[in-house]
Structure 1
């Protein structure tokens, strides 16, 4: 369950704008989640962008048959700052309940490095566990902040490898350019840059786990990023990830912005 939830966290991020002025931008967004063509969940987010910093709160709720057989609800909060080289996370918190089981994760960051990570219940370290060492926790971000990209040109959006820590697993997400296409949702319509994403596990997982090996060797992840008007930032609006059970699709249905 943890891998599925973290995949959703990675692929249901924020649509942001940055502030080159003294005002605060507030973005209300809604995302639909489907698996095998059937609706399985809905996420809603409020993102606040001030000069030099960002924060987001969001909720996740199961829908369709998933809600009947395995009710799932969750909440998430993220905060950080904009540095010279992009996003620097400060705190990530996730709290979700699925089928009666509750999981919470709280990660602290400073200067681009992880300073604390608490999971309740604690992560079970199975046979063949690959430990996370101190070097793995440098220059990393949480799964949500990882998807806010600073780039000078559309082509540069996909030219990067992002170091991600979700509270247990450290992974690299390698992005490569795939195509440019059109995308529309309530409040947004325009071109988006689509990247192919390669999942590369680093540590914090059992080395022989078949699901992780399949996602690394055979998994296909595609993420589309929209340019944020007046900035050099891009943020995701849709994503598809292949799993052993079939494709999971996440896409924005509402993106509305106001100024404060």
Structure 2
């Protein structure tokens, strides 16, 4: 059961950085989960496979796990996805979402089983599946073509995301830099605050959506992948309705390998 099987790497580069990252997930300081990310990254392309699951005591309340994968190109400093797939499983149900994109426009979506059609759902607009990236593509932060790879320009952007069902923006602003240490990486990261801006596909008046839209306690730390001239999240923290959740890398190792 993996979404990675639907993704193929398309790269014009002779070499790629291979990132192996392990993340610990905590809620109000208590460990509740773990995630792994493996990615092939070059200045012109990316391919990412990730999985996550609840661990420890959290499994007593919800036995949930999932996997996602995505691939695409970097065109003129912009992420241009081609494929995205995700599968989420709980004790009650397993759902798979597959999406094809071209030129930052959605070409096809398959959701099985489909979401229940709710009368208060805000319908997608005619342009909500255009000029977007998928959730995996949103992990890629291309650096400016020249100058320092860590800079305010990395943060000061808006990411338009479509996940196959809902359309939203992530609006980032620069906060500063910090130093981090994990297995495989010790050095600076750029810190961005971000806001969640729901646009369509969500239920009108849903309490959790309004809470996140009003939430000012959202932050992401980005670590550099030097030769690929891009950055990848090292740490994400978010205040939720039940406490602050932190996802932070315990390993962030970059290798280099020959690719076709």
Equivalent-residue separation in structure 2 for 1:200 and 1:229 (angstroms): 30
Per-residue deviation, 1:257: 2.1
2:35 is aligned to: 43
2:185 is aligned to: 188
Equivalent-residue separation in structure 2 for 1:202 and 1:162 (angstroms): 12
Provide, for residues 47-85 of structure 1, a one-character-per-residue CA deviation record: whole Å limited to 9, x for no partner: 112562211112212101112332112221111111113
Contact 1:195 1:224 in 2 (8 A): yes
Per-residue deviation, 1:134: 2.9
Specify every segment of 5 or more residues in structure 1 that has no aligned partner in the other structure, as ranges: 1-18
1:110 alignment partner, one of 93, 102, 106? 102
Contact 2:219 2:236 in 1 (8 A): yes
2:202 alignment partner, one of 202, 205, 216? 205
Provide, for residues 107-145 of structure 1, a one-character-per-residue CA deviation record: whole Å limited to 9, x for no partner: 110011111122222122323211112311111001121
Contact 1:62 1:73 in 2 (8 A): yes
Per-residue deviation, 1:147: 2.5
Paired residue secondary structure (1:222): strand
1:220 is aligned to: 217
Provide, for residues 143-185 of structure 1, a one-character-per-residue CA deviation record: whole Å limited to 9, x for no partner: 1211311232511011111100111110011001112111111
Flag as ranges the 4+ runs of structure 1 deviating above 3 A. none
Moved more, 190-199 or 36-45: 36-45
2:86 is aligned to: 94
Per-residue deviation, 1:259: 2.1
Paired residues, what number?
242
Contact 2:169 2:196 in 1 (8 A): yes
| In the alignment, structure 1 residue 234 sits paired with structure 2 residue 231 | yes
TM-score, with structure 2 as normaliser? 0.87
Question: Alignment RMSD, CA only?
Answer: 1.8
Equivalent-residue separation in structure 2 for 1:98 and 1:209 (angstroms): 22
Paired residue secondary structure (2:127): helix
Per-residue deviation, 1:227: 2.1
Contact 2:18 2:255 in 1 (8 A): yes
1:163 alignment partner, one of 160, 173, 176? 160
- CA gap of 1:25–1:213, structure 2 versus 1, over 3 A, is same
TM-score, with structure 1 as normaliser? 0.87
Equivalent-residue separation in structure 2 for 1:156 and 1:232 (angstroms): 13
Per-residue deviation, 1:20: 9.5
Per-residue deviation, 1:105: 1.0
Equivalent-residue separation in structure 1 for 2:256 and 2:157 (angstroms): 31
1:13 is aligned to: none
Equivalent-residue separation in structure 1 for 2:185 and 2:13 (angstroms): 22
